[in-house]
Chain A
Amino acid sequence: MKIRLWCASFAITAVAATAACGNGDSGSSESGGGGGGGDAKTLTYWASNQGATLDVDKQVLGKELAKFTQQTGVKVKLEVIGWPDLQNRILAATSSGQGPDVLNIGNTWAASLQSTGAFMPFDKAALDAIGGQSKFVDASFKTSGMEGKDPTSVPLYGLVYGLYYNKKMFADAGLQPPTTWEELQAAAKKLTDAGKGTYGMAMEGGSYTESIHFAFIFGQQHGADPFTKDGKPQFTTPGMVAGVKQYVDLMSDGVVNKSSVQYKNGPEAPGDFAKGKAAMLMSQNNADNTLQADGMKSSDYGVVAIPTKSGNKDTASFVAGINMSVFKDTKNKDGALKLVKFMTSPEEQAILDKPFTALPVVKGGTVNFTDNPAEAKTFADILATKSVPLPLVPAEAAYETNVGNAVNGLLAKAATGQKPSEADIKSALQEAQDKMASAG
């Protein structure tokens, strides 16, 4: 007994001691970078969670990657990572240089992650190796990195926002799907019956990512860019303020259930829409998954582009989606590029877009995740003609949190009965901008 205890304690001491030593020299050996989890023959691939569950993704991708191994002889070790983990894992990989060979990133992070210098730039040769820049849908490819630099990611799955509307509720009220923002507001008002608990619009009002997306989209409609040409934040321009106001006013006007400021996990707003508690929902096309899981059929809802105030710019979405990057330290650049080429090939896109409710990011693809042709056409049009990328500046991630949280605060204010004025909005945005500036 006694001896065993001593052994155990020494074992743990030994582990801890080597650990402490390891720490000592890790600082100096930093820049070398081990990189590439796998050996030269096997690639490690971190896939983001796109389907209903991690297991679904594992099955779908496992099957496709087996094909890839058959075609190229390159083995792939797949790990599907849930969204709450992905950013931390990338952060850890970046700060240690110990990452996968190939990974998925949310495309809005493209520039922020590019600035860490941990990803391989796709130069002309690399782009040619994966089939050339020209194979990608132009709008999607714009998200691949900062302007004027070799991109560090290429598009993989396309997503855009659309306005979902409940066909039956609209028909019962004798309404047509809105084509202008004014029509949307009028319809929302008409469809709201707070007494019965039904509202015109569903909203994920506690989610800072949703808030920043709409602040951006509506700001764009008013012709406002959040950053100057040289990457300085300019959040308080009249257009930016008007854009935020357009979104927050939905709450102030009472056409959104006030409780939605508590929604922040993602499924709540689509849930309200699916249950007929809200007649409209502004969401990315992968909402189809949630809506159908909640019991809606694709014929129960229609989708149109998010409308704009009469006379404003016709931007209905930003180019959302998932990009693919290669870690700079990979020991198998060839294999990694082959995998990127494979995943972005028209054949694979056609297969993967279905379970992942994604839009094709290569030219000539068709939207196949829905059996509703009108919906398919709408989303394809929005991506091709009505979408702009989020700002491709290193500070994008900080912009998302600071402005997103500011808008959330305004929504909370609106829900608790103090309608935020233009001055309120401006000062909230000013604060967000100041935070960006002094964080430097």
Chain B
Amino acid sequence: MREPVSFRVFRWVVVLVLGAFTLIPLYVLLSSSLKPLGEVQGEFRWWPEHPTFRPFVDIWSTVPLARYFANSLVVCLVATLFSVLIAIFAAYAVSRYRFRGRSLFSGAVLSTQMIPGILFLLPLFLIFVNLDKTLGTTVFYQTRVGLIVMYMTFSLPFAIWMLAGYLDGIPRDLDEAARVDGCSAVGALFRVVLPAARPGVVAVAVYAFMTAWGEILFASQMTNTETRTLSIGLQSYSTQINVYWNQVMAASLVVSLPIVLVFLLLQRYLVAGLTAGAVK
């Protein structure tokens, strides 16, 4: 199709504005992480005058970054695993069965997305604390287990919704055929349906992982020195005897890189999953 001048102008404007808007902070992040402390404390400069990799070395000793990293990794991976698994079961039920309470279930699950986190933060705090008291030992409050239980639930509603949409698009004949061949419902799900739904599953996994990796509100109350995750741990660079902006930037870069790369590699799946859910 021929593009009128107006559209070409529009494209230039959009590319320039959005490109700069996106890129400038990323550039600041990168360039500041390569500056010595003195340079990030003075007036802003575009270029590091004395570029150095020291911040990337120092971040590990200024705060226990490795521990935060390990905590985040364990919590997010386990939470993602369970969230995806549970979402698969639920989505399969919603997509393939008509059962009493089906629409209530899907409606209720999705509407939990509306509950402001702050409403159930306080009760969850009390519930976890009192559960531990009942159990006589610390299982939930400020532990990794507690975080995992929360985080896998946070991504669940959207994951179920997205996956159910995806499964709806997979021909029913596929699992009916497997059932005729003698598979159980779950057998059909794992042997036939899931392989066909792999993009949707990957999309849900990426979403669940990102949700957990970036969570702040609950981490601020439900972790302690030992179980602190990156989202709160990263803020401790500013409570040291100096505010180490170069290290804050370096650490932000380090914790962002793996997830950004994974996301960019898998984004096409996420797009597919999102569309499947949205246009259902």
| Contact surface of A with B, Cβ cutoff 8 Å | 1-2, 5-6, 8-9, 12, 15-16, 19, 22-23, 25-27, 29-30, 34, 54, 81-82, 84-85, 88-89, 92, 95-98, 265-268, 270-271, 290, 293-294
Q: Is residue B117 within 8 Å, beta carbon to beta carbon, of the partner chain?
A: no
26 A-B pairs (CB sep. < 8 Å): A1-B190, A2-B187, A2-B190, A9-B86, A9-B89, A12-B82, A12-B86, A22-B130, A23-B127, A26-B127, A27-B130, A29-B134, A30-B130, A34-B133, A81-B225, A85-B224, A92-B125, A95-B126, A96-B126, A96-B130, A96-B141, A265-B238, A270-B241, A290-B241, A293-B241, A294-B242
Residues from chain A with a CB closer than 8 A to the CB of B225 are 54, 81-82, 85
Q: Which of B82, B130, B221, B239 contacts A26 (CB 8 A)?
A: B130
Q: Which residue in chain B gives the minimum CB-CB distance to A22?
A: B134
A24 to chain B, nearest CB (A): 10
Question: In whole angstroms, what is the CA distance A19 to B136 when docked?
Answer: 13
A295 to chain B, nearest CB (A): 10
Q: Are A294 and B134 in contact (CB under 8 A)?
A: no
Residues from chain B with a CB closer than 8 A to the CB of A19 are 131, 140, 149
Question: In whole angstroms, what is the CA distance A362 to B142 when docked?
Answer: 36
Q: Is residue B240 within 8 Å, beta carbon to beta carbon, of the partner chain?
A: yes
- Other contacts beyond A26-B130, A34-B136, A92-B142: 12, CB < 8 A: A2-B187, A8-B85, A9-B82, A9-B89, A12-B86, A22-B130, A23-B127, A82-B225, A92-B125, A97-B133, A294-B241, A294-B242
Secondary structure at the B interface, as helix, strand, loop or mixed, is helix
B77 to chain A, nearest CB (A): 14
Q: A9-B85, A12-B82, A265-B243 are in contact. Are A81 and B130 (CB under 8 A)?
A: no
Question: In whole angstroms, what is the CA distance A265 to B241 when docked?
Answer: 9
Q: Is residue B197 within 8 Å, beta carbon to beta carbon, of the partner chain?
A: no
Q: How many contacts between A and B, using CB within 8 angstroms?
A: 81
Q: Are A267 and B239 in contact (CB under 8 A)?
A: yes
Q: Is residue B260 within 8 Å, beta carbon to beta carbon, of the partner chain?
A: no
The 8 closest A-B pairs by CB, nearest first: A26-B130, A96-B129, A22-B134, A265-B239, A98-B133, A293-B241, A267-B241, A96-B133
Q: Is residue B180 within 8 Å, beta carbon to beta carbon, of the partner chain?
A: no
Residues from chain A with a CB closer than 8 A to the CB of B240 are 267
Question: In whole angstroms, what is the CA distance A265 to B245 when docked?
Answer: 13
In chain B, residues 88-124, which have Cβ atoms closer than 8 Å to a Cβ of chain A? 89
Q: Which residue in chain B gives the minimum CB-CB distance to A264?
A: B238
Sort chain B's interface into a size bin.
Answer: 20 to 34
Residues from chain B with a CB closer than 8 A to the CB of A85 are 224-225
Q: Which residue in chain A gives the minimum CB-CB distance to B140?
A: A19
Q: Which of A12, A23, A294 contacts B131 (CB 8 A)?
A: A23
Question: In whole angstroms, what is the CA distance A119 to B126 when docked?
Answer: 19
Question: In whole angstroms, what is the CA distance A135 to B44 when docked?
Answer: 55
Q: Are A96 and B132 in contact (CB under 8 A)?
A: yes
Question: In whole angstroms, what is the CA distance A108 to B82 when docked?
Answer: 44
Residues from chain A with a CB closer than 8 A to the CB of B221 are 88
Q: A96-B129, A267-B240 are in contact. Are A89 and B224 (CB under 8 A)?
A: yes
Q: Are A2 and B130 in contact (CB under 8 A)?
A: no
Question: In whole angstroms, what is the CA distance A8 to B190 when docked?
Answer: 15
Question: In whole angstroms, what is the CA distance A230 to B61 when docked?
Answer: 51
Residues from chain B with a CB closer than 8 A to the CB of A22 are 130-131, 134-135
Q: Is residue B66 within 8 Å, beta carbon to beta carbon, of the partner chain?
A: no
Q: Which residue in chain B gives the minimum CB-CB distance to A6?
A: B186
Question: In whole angstroms, what is the CA distance A89 to B132 when docked?
Answer: 14
Q: Which residue in chain A gives the minimum CB-CB distance to B189?
A: A2
Q: Which residue in chain B gives the minimum CB-CB distance to A94?
A: B129
Q: Which residue in chain A gives the minimum CB-CB distance to B239?
A: A265
A379 to chain B, nearest CB (A): 21
Q: Are B241 and A271 in contact (CB under 8 A)?
A: yes
Q: Are A267 and B129 in contact (CB under 8 A)?
A: no
Question: In whole angstroms, what is the CA distance A1 to B85 when docked?
Answer: 12
| 1/0 contact string of B129-154 vs chain A (CB within 8 Å) | 11111111000111000000100000
Q: Are A95 and B129 in contact (CB under 8 A)?
A: yes
B190 to chain A, nearest CB (A): 5
Residues from chain A with a CB closer than 8 A to the CB of B241 are 267, 270-271, 290, 293-294
B216 to chain A, nearest CB (A): 14
B174 to chain A, nearest CB (A): 18
Residues from chain B with a CB closer than 8 A to the CB of A97 are 133
| 1/0 contact string of B233-262 vs chain A (CB within 8 Å) | 000001111110000000000000000000
Question: In whole angstroms, what is the CA distance A6 to B86 when docked?
Answer: 10
B240 to chain A, nearest CB (A): 6
Q: Are A271 and B141 in contact (CB under 8 A)?
A: no
Q: Which residue in chain B gives the minimum CB-CB distance to A27?
A: B130
Question: In whole angstroms, what is the CA distance A89 to B125 when docked?
Answer: 11
A11 to chain B, nearest CB (A): 10
Q: Which residue in chain A gives the minimum CB-CB distance to B221?
A: A88
Question: In whole angstroms, what is the CA distance A95 to B132 when docked?
Answer: 12
In chain B, residues 176-218, which have Cβ atoms closer than 8 Å to a Cβ of chain A? 186-187, 190
